[in-house]
Structures are given as C-alpha cells and as structure tokens.
Amino acid sequence: MSTTIAQNRSFGAALWDYLTTVDHKKIGILYLVSGGFFFLLGGLEAMAIRIQLIKPANDFVSAGFYNQILTMHGTTMIFLAAMPLIFALMNAVVPLQIGARDVAFPFLNALGFWLFLAGGLILNASWFLGGAPDAGWTAYAPLSTTSPGHGVDFYVLGLQISGAGTLIAGINFLVTIVNMRAPGMTYMRMPLFTWTTFVVSALILFAFPALTVGLFLLMFDRLFGSGFFDASMGGNSVIWEHLFWIFGHPEVYILILPAFGVFSEILPVFSKKRLFGYTAMVFATVLIGFLGFMVWAHHMFTVGLGPAANSIFAVATMAIAVPTGIKIFNWLFTLWGGNITINTAMLYSLSFIPTFTIGGMTGVMLAAAAADYQFHDTYFVVAHFHYVIVGGVVFGIFAGLHYWWPRMFGKILDEKLGKLTFWTFFIGFHLTFFIQHFLGLMGMPRRYWTFLPDQGLDTGNLISTIGAFLMAFGTIVFVINVIVTSVKGEKVGGDPWDGRTLEWAIANPTPHYNFKQTPLVRGLDAFWIEKMDGRKEMTPAEPVDDIHMPNSSILPFIMALGLFIAGFGFIYQVDNSAWLAAVFIGMGILLGCMFIRSVKDDHGYHIHKEDLDKGAGL
C-alpha cells in the first residue's frame, strides 16, 4: 500500500512540476506532447476529408460537417500542431546550442506555452458546443462574419489567445539568442538552427500583430456589432484579406525556416563534413525572412488588385526562389563527397530536398499571376502547399525529433520502426498529393464537399485516399515507436551521433542547469573543433561557481486559465449578458496574476557549487 501512495504522490509531484516549470527543456516536452496530440487530431480530420472524397457523390460526412472538418484541419495543423512542434524543438535545443543555462524570460516562456494550450483547447471545445468553425482556415469575411452559430467565435478567441502565446515565445527567443550566448559564440558562429530560430522569431514579432488586429476586428464585427467588414455599414471585406495575409505569408516562412535549420544541422553531422556555404546559408535565411513580408498579395491575385500590384507581387514572389535555391544547392554540396550515414533522420532530410524542390517549383508556377487565375482555389494549390508544408515542415519535424530524441529523452528512437514510418509516410505522402496537382489542373476546386462521377476525377481521388491511409499508418507506427522506445529503449551517452554543435557536449541526461561551466566557443561547430584538437569536452569559460536559476511559478498556468474563462465569456455574452461575468472574472484573474508578478520580487535561487555534482542527475 505504501508503494501506491508513494507513486501517487510522485505522480502528483510530477504533475505539479510540469504545471509550474520554467525550465526550457520541460517546456519543450510540454510543447511536444500537446503539439503531438493536436497533430493526431488534425490527422484524424484529414482522414475524414479523404474518406469523404474516396468516391464521387459520397456521403460519409454531411456537407456542413465537412466544412467544419476542413476548417479545423487547416487551423489545427498550422497553429496547433506545426508551430508548437517547432517550438518544442526550439525550446529543447536552442539554449543548449548557444551554451546558455536558460532562456532570457523563463516565466514568459512558460506563459507562452500555456496560452497556446488554452487557445487550442478553446478552439477544439467548439466540437462539443454546437459546431466547429466552418469558414476555412483563412476565415474570409463576409463568409466568416455571417457564419451562423458560435463556430467562428471559437476560431477568433482561440487563435487570439494562442497567438499571444506565440508572440511572447518569439520575443523570448530573440532576446535569448541576442543576450545569452556563451563567450566566443559570435553571430557567425551560431548553428544554423539557432539562426533560423532567430529570423523566425523576428518574423513572428512583425507578423502576428497583424493577425491580432484582424482577429480583433472580426471579433468586434461578430460579437459587438461593428461594421469593419460589413458592406451595408460601409465596411470592406478586403481589409480582412490583407490583414490575414500580411500575417499569413510570413507565417509560412515561420513554419519552413526552422525546418531548413533542422536539415542544416542533420546533413553535416551524418555527412561528416561542415555545412557547405555557411555564410550563404545565413544570408539566404535572412533574405527569405525579409522577402517573406513583401509577397502576401500573391494569395489575392484574383481579388482584382490590378495588373500593377499583381505584377509587383508576382516578381517579388519569384525572387524568393533565389535564396531558396541557394539553400538547396548548399545542402547538396554538403552531401557531396561526404562520409554519409543513412538513418531515419537522414532519410527524412534526403527525401526533403527533391520533395521541397517540387513544392517550390509549383510555387513559382502559382506566382505567375496570369496563370494563377487558372490555378486559384483548385487542388493544384492544395497539392502545392502540402508539398511545402508536409514535405518541408513535417519532414523537418520528424527528422528533428529522430535527431534530437536522445538529447530530449536520453534514448534513440527505434531505427527499424523509424524507417518503417519513413517509407510508409514518404510513399503515402507522394501518393496522396502528387495526383492532386493533376486533379487541380483538371478543374477540381478545393474545399468542395463532394464531386460528380465520370468527370475524370474518380481514380485520382481514390489514389489520393489510399496514400492518406499509408500516411496514417506511418504516423501510428511513429507513436508506437515512441512508446516502445520509452519502455524498452536503452540509455545512450551524451553524444550518440558524433555531433558537431554544443548541445552534444553535455552528458545525458541533461542537468537542469545545462552547463556546469559555461563553455568557451572557439569557432563554428564548437564541439567538433574541440574533438579535432583531441579533447572530449568543451573548454570552460569560467571557474566552477554558484549557478543562478529562476524560480518555478504556477502563475503562467493561472493566467492562461483566466484568459480561457474570459474567452468563453466573450463568446457567450451575445446570447446572455450574464456571461459578461465570465469575462470580468477571467480578465480579473489575468490582471491579478500580472499584478502579483509585478509586486512580488523574484530573484531566483542559487545552486551552490558544492551541490553541483550531487544534483547533476536531476
């Protein structure tokens, strides 16, 4: 009996530990678990879409429900799966890569996570409360402003809250990378994943406020009777499209650049060569980020902006192919003549290159404004963005998880199951989406509930659905792999891949203060340089001393809870003004927590140097 009590208490203690943690490694795991959950949810929605389209005139789901599924599939995958999974990798790796003991704002880092989770839960609560949003993930007005029920309200509040979390996370990473680098870690010695994180955080900083404003306007229109997008009050729905895409296009680069960073880490390690053209890679990353802000209107070619505007945005869009091409060639040259090891992480990286190139090529095709009038809103577009987002971002996340799993959990994911996942997912992916290019060219519009028989679309859709099942199989195998590895897998040392960057210079498991002594960085691929000089560890930049650590706090969780409550209040106050109480209570909780945070001094605590060796296993 005593053992069960001990176990219960330890479970409670672990739960409390994760609820209050400000440790970037644990926050990374939180992001991974919740992002993974939403990824499976979004995948389930994808399967429903593909089953509905398996044959002409199918009625697996009703038309209205189909709209909800397809809206939630897009929204979930972008905001609740891809972004958090990328944040998981960033949190797990970036502070280690720059030789930092923690992030710049540990408290805000935790707050960012809980806000994201609160937003995601609000969004998905809609399934049980009268129907999910059904206006597409782009929520174009006036479709979104006139959509009946509360579905779109959940979209607005959910994204607003999780967007605030993302913005906070972005600022945290910017400051972390600027201020917390180890001695000697100059900007041009930062690993590429850190560089892409830096650029992506800047994109988040400048892109998300536009979404914030757009969502506020939509919320005011739907819930408080304003007329921004209501033509009968003099409003203009094109405002929403601009605001959404001023955010939305940088968002695409926010997703793909970290994936580029992951591949730029994996390819050199498993080719036993330094990354080819490091400087060019850095500048290409910055350039992509920069150009990413000048191309949003290519999503709006058919709105009628006029030939001048369309041409400018078309040319700017095509220009992005140049820095991206630089990257592709640099990856190829990194491989060239290398001593290549093929494992699961490497398989994803190798297959990413041709897959993403196809996606980029269709991107240039779509950028031709005149041709886009034909492609617009067809399955050609669907095929294009799945090639870049699945073939780029999801492959990147899988590759990054296989590569950094030993860093995060001390064990290597099972290679056999990993390769099974890879091959089924890879083949399934191309089967699903390659054919959709042709479905689109034959005129099949996106987002339609069903299609008619004998229009040449039957076989293509059947093949596409078969591919989707293969992808689902691969994903299930990955989940099994995670379970099997965590139960049976053997602990490995701190540097299982013979790595080049700082995160591999730490013993396994990573101590919660990361580095006992801050390392001295002597060049690019800091750990590799030390290895080449015959050392097994980094040269320390400081004597062993007391280590300053931040205090844990439950406040981030409570603040997110406050906004969660307020969110429901905002949504339901149109039906019954008593719900305004929920708004006041929720916002009161939020402001109260901010007040406590501001009033209570938080100096953190010190780990004394005598205790360092004892506590190393923590």
Partner 1 sequence: MTENINSTNSDGYYEQKKKEEMKHQLITFALMIIFTFIAFGMVLAELDKLFVIPIIIVLAIVQVIFQLYYFMHMSHKGHELPSIMIYGGLSVAFLTILTFLVLIWW
Partner 2 sequence: MSNDTLNPKVMPEEPEKATLEGKNKFLGFWFFLGGETVLFASLFGTFLALRNSTNGGPSSQELFGLDLVFIMTMLLLTSSLTSVVAIYQMKKNNFAKMQAWLAITVILGFGFLSLEIYEFYEYITLEDFTFRSSAFGSAFYTLVGFHGGHVLFGLLWILTLMIRNAKRGLNLYNAPKFYVASLYWHFIDVVWVFIFTVVYLMGVI
For partner 1, the closer of residues 209 and 540 by Cβ is 209
Q: Does 171 bind partner 2 (CB under 8 A)?
A: yes
CA distances from 444 to 157, 359, 597 (A): 33, 19, 54
Q: Does 217 bind partner 2 (CB under 8 A)?
A: yes
Q: How far apart are CA 446 and CA 53, in angstroms?
A: 11
Work out how close the CB of 201 gets to partner 2 at its nearest, in angstroms, rounded to a whole number. Answer: 9
Q: How far apart are CA 425 and CA 471, in angstroms?
A: 4
Angle between helices 83-97 and 106-125 (to 10 degrees): 170
DSSP reduced 3-state for 390: helix
Q: Does 297 bind partner 1 (CB under 8 A)?
A: yes
Q: Which of 18, 206, 333, 473 binds partner 2 (CB under 8 A)?
A: 206
Q: Which DSSP state fits 422?
A: H
Q: Does 427 bind partner 1 (CB under 8 A)?
A: no
Q: Which of 65, 140, 220, 579 binds partner 2 (CB under 8 A)?
A: 220
For partner 1, the closer of residues 202 and 439 by Cβ is 202
Q: Which window, 233-241, 471-479, 536-544, 568-576, contacts partner 2 (CB under 8 A)?
A: 233-241
Q: What is the end-to-end Cα distance of the chain in Å, rounded?
A: 27
Q: Does 312 bind partner 1 (CB under 8 A)?
A: no
Work out how close the CB of 142 gets to partner 2 at its nearest, in angstroms, rounded to a whole number. Answer: 13
Out of partner 1, partner 2, none, which partner does residue 601 contact, by CB within 5 to 8 A per kind?
partner 2
Q: Does 212 bind partner 2 (CB under 8 A)?
A: yes
Q: Which of 40, 47, 51, 239 binds partner 2 (CB under 8 A)?
A: 239
Work out how close the CB of 561 gets to partner 2 at its nearest, in angstroms, rounded to a whole number. Answer: 21
Q: How far apart are CA 92 and CA 23, in angstroms?
A: 10
Omega within 30 of 0 (cis) for the link into 540: no
Asked if residue 349 lies in contact with residue 399, where contact means CB atoms within 8 angstroms, the answer is yes
Q: Which of 228, 276, 296, 564 binds partner 2 (CB under 8 A)?
A: 228
Q: Which window, 109-117, 233-241, 520-528, 581-589, contacts partner 1 (CB under 8 A)?
A: 233-241
Q: Which window, 122-130, 239-247, 259-267, 420-428, contacts partner 1 (CB under 8 A)?
A: 239-247
Angle between helices 395-409 and 83-97 (to 10 degrees): 50
Out of partner 1, partner 2, none, which partner does residue 305 contact, by CB within 5 to 8 A per kind?
partner 1
Q: Does 179 bind partner 2 (CB under 8 A)?
A: yes
Q: Does 293 bind partner 1 (CB under 8 A)?
A: yes
Asked if residue 265 lies in contact with residue 501, where contact means CB atoms within 8 angstroms, the answer is yes
Asked if residue 182 lies in contact with residue 518, where contact means CB atoms within 8 angstroms, the answer is yes
The DSSP bridge partners found for residue 445 are 378
Q: Does 289 bind partner 2 (CB under 8 A)?
A: no
Q: Does 210 bind partner 2 (CB under 8 A)?
A: yes
Positive or negative, the CA dihedral 288, 38, 213, 587 is negative
Q: Does 236 bind partner 1 (CB under 8 A)?
A: yes
Q: Does 146 bind partner 2 (CB under 8 A)?
A: no
User: What are the DSSP calls for 99-142, one per residue?
Assistant: T-SS-S-HHHHHHHHHHHHHHHHHHHHGGGTT----STTTT-TT
Q: How far apart are CA 49 and CA 27, in angstroms?
A: 33
Work out how close the CB of 218 gets to partner 2 at its nearest, in angstroms, rounded to a whole number. Answer: 12
**What are the b/e assignments for 23-47, b being 16+ CB within 10 Å?**
bbbbbbbbbbebbbbbbebbbebbb
Q: Which of 40, 51, 54, 213 binds partner 2 (CB under 8 A)?
A: 213
Q: Does 598 bind partner 2 (CB under 8 A)?
A: yes
Out of partner 2, partner 1, none, which partner does residue 309 contact, by CB within 5 to 8 A per kind?
partner 1
Out of partner 1, partner 2, none, which partner does residue 226 contact, by CB within 5 to 8 A per kind?
partner 2
For partner 1, the closer of residues 292 and 400 by Cβ is 292
Q: Which DSSP state fits 540?
A: B
Work out how close the CB of 216 gets to partner 1 at its nearest, in angstroms, rounded to a whole number. Answer: 15
Q: Does 286 bind partner 1 (CB under 8 A)?
A: no
Asked if residue 345 lies in contact with residue 399, where contact means CB atoms within 8 angstroms, the answer is yes
Q: How many CB atoms lie within 10 A of CB 605?
A: 13
Q: How many CB atoms lie within 10 A of CB 555?
A: 20
Q: Which DSSP state fits 512?
A: T
Q: Does 223 bind partner 1 (CB under 8 A)?
A: no
**Number of residues in contact with partner 2 under rule CB under 8 A:** 43
Main-chain phi, psi angles of 475, to 5 degrees: -65, -40
Q: Which of 19, 44, 205, 318 binds partner 1 (CB under 8 A)?
A: 205
Helices (H) and strands (E) in the chain, counts: 21, 2
Work out how close the CB of 305 gets to partner 1 at its nearest, in angstroms, rounded to a whole number. Answer: 5
Q: Does 56 bind partner 2 (CB under 8 A)?
A: no
Q: Which of 44, 238, 574, 585 binds partner 1 (CB under 8 A)?
A: 238
Out of partner 2, partner 1, none, which partner does residue 357 contact, by CB within 5 to 8 A per kind?
none
Q: Does 230 bind partner 2 (CB under 8 A)?
A: yes
For partner 1, the closer of residues 174 and 413 by Cβ is 174
Q: Does 583 bind partner 1 (CB under 8 A)?
A: no
Q: Does 304 bind partner 2 (CB under 8 A)?
A: no
Asked if residue 72 lies in contact with residue 133, where contact means CB atoms within 8 angstroms, the answer is yes
CA distances from 151 to 124, 329, 513, 544 (A): 10, 45, 44, 56
Q: Quick one: the chain helix, strand, coil %, rounded to 5?
A: 70, 0, 25
User: What are the DSSP calls for 324-350, one per residue?
Assistant: HHHHHHHHHHHHTT------HHHHHHH
For partner 2, the closer of residues 105 and 527 by Cβ is 105
Out of partner 2, partner 1, none, which partner does residue 167 contact, by CB within 5 to 8 A per kind?
partner 2
Q: Does 551 bind partner 2 (CB under 8 A)?
A: no
The contact set with partner 1 (CB under 8 A) reads: 178, 202, 205-206, 210, 236, 238-239, 242, 246, 293-294, 297, 305, 309
The contact set with partner 2 (CB under 8 A) reads: 104-105, 167, 171-172, 174-175, 178-179, 205-210, 212-214, 216-217, 220-221, 224-228, 230, 232-236, 239, 242-243, 246, 595, 598-599, 601, 603, 606
